[in-house]
Chain A
Amino acid sequence: MCGIAGRILRGYGAVGNDLVELMDAQAHRGADSTGFAVYSKLCETGYKLRLMGFSRAHLDSDLDEFAHILRAHGADYLSEPVIDDSGDRHYAVRMLISEPADLVRWIDDADLIADRIEVQSLGKSLEIIKDVGDARAVADKHGVREMMGTHGLGHARLATESSVLPTASHPFWARPFPDVAIVHNGQITDYYSWRKRLQQQGYRFMTQNDSELIAVWVSDQMSKGLSREAALDKSIDAIDGVFTFMISDTQGIGFAKDRFAMKPLVTVEDGGELAAATEEQAVRRVVRDECHVINYDGPSLTRTWTVGPQRAAA
């Protein structure tokens, strides 16, 4: 019983604060961990990168090794890493990097030290912030309310089939596809068969979490030529289980819901603005007035929402 949320603003604004409100209202759906995917201004060059380190005692040496791998792929820091080491065991790092010569090969190499440092998001616009604790705790610790942007996702996790760890939290980056993130409420029952098939194609998974798999599955379908809409439609029959997931990129947000209609999604859609959540009472945190609410309650549903043209002026 996780809680998910999505938000698209009409323009560039305080999307971080809205996502925190959406998730705070759904904290009862799972306070094991909370996470946010925020799309802010596009980098003109390079990527925004968020990573998590697991040994503060080895922070300097592990970051040195990470930088060494990055430079071996023809890239470098574009800004000094900003380090938050206030966590009990782990630390978080944000940085800008130039573009590696081959992104897929670089992330493959960078993942060789994923037991010490794990890249959690990479994109021209995307930044994923996630940690153990409820929405307020994670937001306060990582300054999510202050994050500006155009759109984003949120997730409150009730852990079921994988660990309660910051790295097992949502959203998941669709490794190695820049700017693609997912949040998911449900359970994939053919997880291991799909994981094996995707691994045989060369994809790498950092957790045992089925949600991570869906992000890669959809991105893989799109890399083979399907539109986002077609990939979402295909997921309903191709993936077995009960699920409602939302997937995002720089263009907007899409969702898919399984054949059994077990996991809710409620939206308010108004003039290019979107507020979406598992529960209507969460949506009403950001849309206070009585409004037309859409309940995506039926089975086998998909929908996409795009960020409006005002984004270009942001």
Chain B
Amino acid sequence: MSEVVITVGDRSIRTINQEIQAAVADGHAVCVKETLSRHNLGIGLPAGARVRFEGSVGYYCGGLNSGATIEIGRDAGWGTGEAMASGHITVNGYSGMSVGASMLGGTIHVKGDCGPRCGVAMKGGDIIVEGKLGYQSGFMAHAGRIIALGGAGTSCADALWEGQVWVLGDIESLGVDTQVVEPEPEEAASVEQLLAGYGLDDSAHDWRKVISSQRLWYFESRDANAWLMI
């Protein structure tokens, strides 16, 4: 697959995204240079697209991804991969707040730390964070897995639904309505199989799996203790 180089600089993001889409439609891989942390790069890319952003990107990079493979060379701003349906996004550095927000499927792989509310309201897919999860990560996640290899910050998995937060290392504090459970062997095997696909299988894993304790699911307003929990 030949590679087309596109330079962002001060040009309009609409033009850049049209050029990326055109190159992808013609069967090219794309390298995007001089990204300057600009917002909304690589939105709505289709299956089979291979797009690499050199440097850092701003908000919502790879949002609405529908099967593309996207690599971000350095850091990413807020909302990376927001509402993506499928495909794969790699962030080689830090990923800002709400990475994978409302994502439906696919995988996001963050090699550094991530900001607050990683995977907020996600509805499927996997987010792998080699570093530490930010504050309140997994907030109200409906489904899917967040897998952190470097611990988690405060209020981890706050108000979780059926999503799961898997953590190696310290969790500074759990969010409301959560519990840490022992994973089933086949669940752990599934997580470790996923990690192995990213070359992350070289350590003995002592997982802490955080799930909802479901007290807020069936909230009873006359339950004083439930109010205190909030």
- Interface residues, chain A, with chain B CB atoms under 8 Å away: 261, 264, 279-281, 283-284, 288, 290, 293, 295, 297-299
Contacts and interface: CB of A to CB of B under 8 A. Distances in A.
B106 interface: no
A299 B116 CA distance: 8
Contacts of B111: none
Interface string B124-165: 000000000011100000000000000001100000000000
A261 B78 CA distance: 13
Contacts of A299: 116, 135, 154
Given A261-B116, A293-B75, A281 B97 contact: no
12 contacts: A261-B97, A261-B117, A279-B37, A279-B58, A280-B37, A281-B38, A284-B36, A293-B37, A293-B75, A295-B94, A297-B134, A298-B115
Contacts of B39: 279, 281
A264 B96 contact: yes
Interface string B97-120: 100000000000000000111000
Interface of A is mostly: loop
Contacts, number: 53
A288 B36 contact: yes
Interface string B186-221: 000000000000000000000000000000000000
Given A297-B97, A298-B115, 11 more contacts: A279-B39, A280-B56, A280-B75, A281-B58, A281-B77, A284-B37, A290-B55, A290-B56, A290-B74, A297-B115, A299-B135
B53 interface: no
Q: By CB atoms of chain B within 10 A, which of A284, A288, A297 has the most?
A: A297
Contacts of B75: 280, 293, 295
Given A261-B116, A261-B136, A264-B97, A298 B153 contact: yes
A288 B9 CA distance: 10
A280 B115 CA distance: 14
Nearest to B75: A293
Interface of B: 36-39, 55-56, 58-59, 74-75, 77-78, 94, 96-97, 115-117, 134-136, 153-154
A280 B58 contact: yes
A279 B77 CA distance: 8
Contacts of B56: 280, 290, 293
Contacts of A283: 37
Contacts of B58: 279-281
A261 B136 CA distance: 9
Nearest to B97: A297
A279 B75 CA distance: 13
Interface centre among A261, A280, A288 (most CB of B within 10 A): A280
Contact of A298 (B36, B77, B94, B116): B116
B36 A281 contact: yes
Contact of A281 (B37, B117, B153): B37
B173 to A, nearest CB: 11
